[in-house]
């Protein structure tokens, strides 16, 4: 509890008790997952869900992911299918979110999925959140713990910075292992990836033995996380730049750029997993250092690099350039 709001806690018996107590009282709290930190509340409680939307300033039409301990519990709320089982067996618990049809008997609050007939479900792998989920008799609605359109948090301080004293508990678990959000896959009709993540399209296709689509931004919005502007550090960002420019921040991949105070290395080893883990931390750092512009090196568009490029593209979408 060293931060100024005294709301960051190590995970132990005492804090677990507090977490359960607050969640049962419809409070929302910050929790670690293997992807990014989340803002968690009881998915069966309108009061909790409203608080999440309010704190995040999230538009009501952008639905939340519901997090479960196991399949047995999730089966109360959604209809499963054979594709789901194949993926679940291989990747869950882990960084993948499935869109499935909601059961009429489900107690999930309708606001969670913005009145859609589907629900996004995920089984996080982080052992601490699994211990919490196991003890609860409701699942957790949990978006990334940042203000809408902003940068996702990858440690407990990031969460505290986002919500200050407005949340009472944040469970600390160091840096998020993966660093970018889960892959979102729609399994309701034509299977399609709505948001790329560390579990790649290639791996999913191999598992299902089937070609799948990736939904691009333009047409009808299927996943509002696909809204053009997102994950944004709030300053203009220019992608695929070969060399740094004076007075602007430069995000480098590999170590082929000379060290300087405006250079931010995603991964000196040119490792895409390391780059994903560092991406949002670097966004935050650059923003804090008050740069006016960010240039970004070209990132290989393969494996988790596809997800990195997706986040960069959203972050670079800048209405303010047009103003």
Q: What's the min distance (Å) between Cβ of 303 and ligand TXA? A: 17
Asked if 183 is part of the footprint of Mg ion (rule: CB under 5 A), the reply reads no
Instruction: Supply the DSSP string of 274-309, one letter for each residue.
Output: HHHHHHHHHHHHHHHTT-S-EEE-----STHHHHHH
The site partner of 184 among ligand TXA, Mg ion, none (C-beta below 5 to 8 Å per kind) is: ligand TXA
Q: What's the min distance (Å) between Cβ of 36 and Mg ion? A: 8
Instruction: Supply the DSSP string of 212-260, one letter for each residue.
Output: -EE--SSSS-SSGGGSSS-S--SS-EE-S-SS--TTSEEEEESS-S---
Q: What's the min distance (Å) between Cβ of 4 and Mg ion? A: 25
The site partner of 94 among ligand TXA, Mg ion, none (C-beta below 5 to 8 Å per kind) is: none
Choose among 241, 312, 317, 242: nearest CA to 282: 312
- Site for Mg ion, residues 138 to 167, rule: CB under 5 A: 144
Residue 73 or 222: the one with the smaller Cβ distance to ligand TXA is 222
H or E element in which residue 158 lies: helix 156-163
The site partner of 194 among ligand TXA, Mg ion, none (C-beta below 5 to 8 Å per kind) is: ligand TXA
Phi/psi at 72 (5° precision) = -55, -45
The site partner of 150 among ligand TXA, Mg ion, none (C-beta below 5 to 8 Å per kind) is: none
Q: What's the min distance (Å) between Cβ of 49 and Mg ion? A: 15
CA angle 278, 282, 284 (to 5 degrees): 125
The site partner of 125 among ligand TXA, Mg ion, none (C-beta below 5 to 8 Å per kind) is: none
The Cα 5–Cα 68 span in angstroms is 29
The site partner of 188 among Mg ion, ligand TXA, none (C-beta below 5 to 8 Å per kind) is: none
Q: What's the min distance (Å) between Cβ of 64 and ligand TXA? A: 5
DSSP character for 320? G
Cβ-contact 180, 280 below 8 angstroms: yes
Where on the chain is the footprint of ligand TXA (CB under 6 A)?
A: 33, 35-36, 38, 62-65, 97, 99, 113, 116, 118-120, 122, 124, 142-144, 181-182, 184, 194-195, 222-225
Q: What's the min distance (Å) between Cβ of 9 and ligand TXA? A: 18
Choose among 243, 181, 227: nearest CA to 33: 181
Choose among 182, 170, 211: nearest CA to 83: 211
Site residues (CB under 5 A) for Mg ion?
144
């Amino acid at each position: 509890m060293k931060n100024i709001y005294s709301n960051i806690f190590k995970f132990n018996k005492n804090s677990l008790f507090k977490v359960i107590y607050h969640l049962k009282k419809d409070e929302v709290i910050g929790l670690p997952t293997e992807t990014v930190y989340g803002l968690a509340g009881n998915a069966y409680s309108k009061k909790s869900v409203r608080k999440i939307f309010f704190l995040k300033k999230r538009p009501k039409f952008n639905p939340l992911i519901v997090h479960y301990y196991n399949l047995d519990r999730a089966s109360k709320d959604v209809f499963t299918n054979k594709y789901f089982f194949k993926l679940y067996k291989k990747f869950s618990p882990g960084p993948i979110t499935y869109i499935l049809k909601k059961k009429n008997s489900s107690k999930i609050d309708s606001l969670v999925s913005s009145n859609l007939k589907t629900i996004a479900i995920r089984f996080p792998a982080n052992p601490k959140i699994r211990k919490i989920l196991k003890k609860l008799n409701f699942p957790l609605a949990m978006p990334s713990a940042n203000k809408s359109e902003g940068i996702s948090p990858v440690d407990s301080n990031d969460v505290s910075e986002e919500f200050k004293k407005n949340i009472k508990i944040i469970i600390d678990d160091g840096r998020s292992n993966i660093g970018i959000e889960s892959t979102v896959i729609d399994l309701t009709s034509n299977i399609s990836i709505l948001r790329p993540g560390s579990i790649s399209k290639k791996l999913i296709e191999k598992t299902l033995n089937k070609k799948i689509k990736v939904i691009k931004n333009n047409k009808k919005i299927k996943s509002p996380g696909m809204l053009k502007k997102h994950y944004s550090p709030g300053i203009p960002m220019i992608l695929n730049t070969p060399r740094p420019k004076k007075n602007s921040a430069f995000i480098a991949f590999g170590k082929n750029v000379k060290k300087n105070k405006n250079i931010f290395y995603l991964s000196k080893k040119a490792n895409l997993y390391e780059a994903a883990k560092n991406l949002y931390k670097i966004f935050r750092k650059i923003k804090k250092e008050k740069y006016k512009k960010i240039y970004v090196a070209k990132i290989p568009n393969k494996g988790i690099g596809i997800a990195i490029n997706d986040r960069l593209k959203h972050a670079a979408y800048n209405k303010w350039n047009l103003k």
